[in-house]
Structure 1
Amino acid sequence: MEQKPTVGFIGLGIMGHHMAGHILAAGYPLNIYNRTRAKGDDLVARGAQWCDSPGAVAAASDITITIVGYPADVEQVYLADGGILASARPGSVLIDMTTSSPALAARIAQSGLLSGVAALDAPVSGGDVGAKAGKLAIMVGGDKRTFDRVLPVLEVMGANIALMGKAGAGQHTKMANQIAIASTMLAVAESVSYARAAGLDPAQVLKVIGTGAASSFLLNGLGPKMVEEDFAPGFFIHHFVKDMTIALDETERLGLDLPGLALARSLYLKLKDDGFGEEGTQALYRAYNAIHSEAG
């Protein structure tokens, strides 16, 4: 039997922890690192090997995967002295699954070529639910030969996996995804707010309209959480603000005007500034509650 490649995984947050767990469960030797070591204790108990730095993970792995917070974090773990690019095994593959800057993804890929390693950008969509189920959508930028080489590992984490183009194309696709989500979240929050103000049962309204043309994952999945005022995070507001900021930067560079995206970011940014950045994106409903309270 052919031995499976050793996989390194850096970033064991809400999504990364589940993703790493699926890789381990699929029989891949797994090296892990996270800034808070305790988040990896259960994976170590299941057989993962703890490493003391991102560079140490890369040095010990055939495939190194990262899913960290912000573009600045990506830049730090990949490009810093002693980081991933400086430590990676020649011939290994680096996969950044963070939602990050397309330009940074292209820069990492180019630096990888100079270092004798291949790099893919492969951001994901599906939140903690998709990560836990191993059903994430994974949008990939980079070389097809490299993509084919690591596809079995990606298939452990995702159900819809597509190579979208050259380095950076995965990040551009994720921006399109986040732009669609931004305006849809506005619509869901406004729909629930309207139903409640009109004296309807918002939960019943969602059950009805959720089977018609308005049906969507966000309406059917996060709409009920708005009704229940359950704002526990599946995806943090502060991370969504980061994503929308990247998208707006790209929008400006491309000469586009996307008012729905701009409005969504402004409302989410206010929530973040008001101390709700650690809540889930469905907490956008708070903004409409505040508007209604002021109106009343």
Structure 2
Amino acid sequence: MRIGFVGLGNVGGKLCGSLLRNGHDVGVLDLDAQKRAAFAAKGAWVADSPAALMEACEAVITCLPSPAASAAVVEGENGLLTAMGPGKIWLEMSTTDEAEVKRLGAKVIAAGGAAVDCPVSGGCHRAATGNIAIFAGCTRETFERILPLLTTMGRRVLHTGDLGSASVLKVITNFLATANLISCAEALTVAKGAGMDLNTAFEAIRISSGNSFVHETESQVILNGSRDISFTMDLVLKDIGLFQEVADRAGVPLEMNPLMIEIFRDGIARFGEREFSPNIIKRLEEATGLSVLAPGFPPEMVDDEPEAPGYEVVPPR
């Protein structure tokens, strides 16, 4: 299968790298000329437009920073829809809105193609090694066609149901990750204020019922001081905003998420929208005068698991 990839950013570039590393024939497109050149040097070919990419490929993946960016690539001038037809597949790997992916997917399907929303979860360090988790919302027939691609880019692949279901689950998991980040920031700041040794505090949380994936990863770069997980405050705000929209459509009155939205709006107002998201702890550091740092932690996360073949995760029934 010849594959097109649109969006070579922090996550997309790593997913595309997994395809190239494993011998796939990949064409790329990105607004950044340096990124296009870098992937051409790795063996990718560069397309002139989304339409040209779709014309040349059986499947085109988009991994972009916003629903608006995806819409421009799919239905804009020289967009994917221009060359869409039977046998072709659009895979949306961005974190996007359920309603928007359904809207664009309906256009793809009307043009004879197939549509999949397949966002990823697990952090850039796992995207780099092909060990990230992938959700996929589509028909079962389409899922089985694309499973070899998904298991190249990810370790654990879950078929979530119809188109749009993966996007709902992705923003749910991002809501939980954000809640974990805020609670870890508060816990570590309280530990510092209470005079605890932060290396010991980190281990106490890690071996206890208070542990989480976010603590094991983001707490480390918080304590290092780099706060670098290749994810920024504006993207957090987008994701929890999408989660709020899902809740509103479902008629579920939330209490925590509206507060989290305000916390990140304040963080953006203070530190800028492109500030690394773990630096939300700076609000507490400034309020208390404390420096929540400790020696011995890495500046960025590296996946220490070797790349391994992916597989489908089957839910219990």
TM-score (norm. length: structure 1): 0.94
Equivalent AA in structure 1 for residue 87 of structure 2: G
Q: What's the secondary structure of 2:230's corresponding residue?
A: coil
Counterparts of 1:60 and 1:11, CA distance in 2: 17
The ranges of structure 1 where at least 4 consecutive aligned residues each deviate by more than 4 angstroms after the TM superposition are: none
Equivalent position to 1:110, from 83, 106, 109: 106
Counterparts of 1:255 and 1:214, CA distance in 2: 30
Structure 2 counterpart of 1:157:
153
Counterparts of 1:272 and 1:79, CA distance in 2: 31
Give runs of aligned pairs for residues 34-49 of structure 1, distance below 5 A: 34-49=30-45
Structure 2 counterpart of 1:26:
22
Structure 1 counterpart of 2:310:
none
- The question of 1:243 aligning with 2:239 is answered yes
- The question of 1:98 aligning with 2:100 is answered no
Equivalent AA in structure 2 for residue 146 of structure 1: T
Counterparts of 1:215 and 1:99, CA distance in 2: 25
- The question of 1:120 aligning with 2:116 is answered yes
Equivalent position to 2:10, from 9, 14, 37: 14
Give runs of aligned pairs for residues 258-273 of structure 1, distance below 5 A: 258-273=254-269
* 1:274, distance to aligned residue in structure 2 (A): 2.5
1:197-254, Cα deviation, whole Å (9 max, x unpaired): 0111222201122011111111111112222222224222211111111111121121
Counterparts of 2:140 and 2:260, CA distance in 1: 35
Equivalent position to 2:173, from 164, 177, 184: 177
Higher helix share: 1
**Aligned partners of 2:3 and 2:27 also within 8 Å:** yes
Give runs of aligned pairs for residues 48-197 of structure 1, distance below 5 A: 48-197=44-193
* 1:271, distance to aligned residue in structure 2 (A): 1.5
Equivalent AA in structure 2 for residue 214 of structure 1: G
- The question of 1:282 aligning with 2:278 is answered yes
**Aligned partners of 2:102 and 2:164 also within 8 Å:** yes
Counterparts of 1:292 and 1:54, CA distance in 2: 50
Structure 2 counterpart of 1:209:
205
Counterparts of 1:273 and 1:68, CA distance in 2: 24
**Aligned partners of 2:175 and 2:240 also within 8 Å:** yes
Segments of 5+ residues of structure 2 without an aligned counterpart are: 291-317
Counterparts of 1:272 and 1:160, CA distance in 2: 33
Seq. identity, %: 25
Counterparts of 2:30 and 2:22, CA distance in 1: 21
Q: How many residues align?
A: 290
Counterparts of 1:88 and 1:46, CA distance in 2: 27
* 1:139, distance to aligned residue in structure 2 (A): 1.0
* 1:257, distance to aligned residue in structure 2 (A): 2.2
Segments of 5+ residues of structure 1 without an aligned counterpart are: none
Equivalent AA in structure 1 for residue 107 of structure 2: S
Counterparts of 1:262 and 1:291, CA distance in 2: 21
Counterparts of 1:259 and 1:228, CA distance in 2: 32
Return 80-89 or 108-117, whichever deviates more.
Answer: 80-89
* 1:258, distance to aligned residue in structure 2 (A): 2.2
Counterparts of 1:126 and 1:280, CA distance in 2: 17
TM-score (norm. length: structure 2): 0.88
**Aligned partners of 1:59 and 1:89 also within 8 Å:** no
**Aligned partners of 1:10 and 1:65 also within 8 Å:** yes
Return 6-15 or 52-61, whichever deviates more.
Answer: 52-61
Counterparts of 2:137 and 2:216, CA distance in 1: 30
* 1:89, distance to aligned residue in structure 2 (A): 4.6
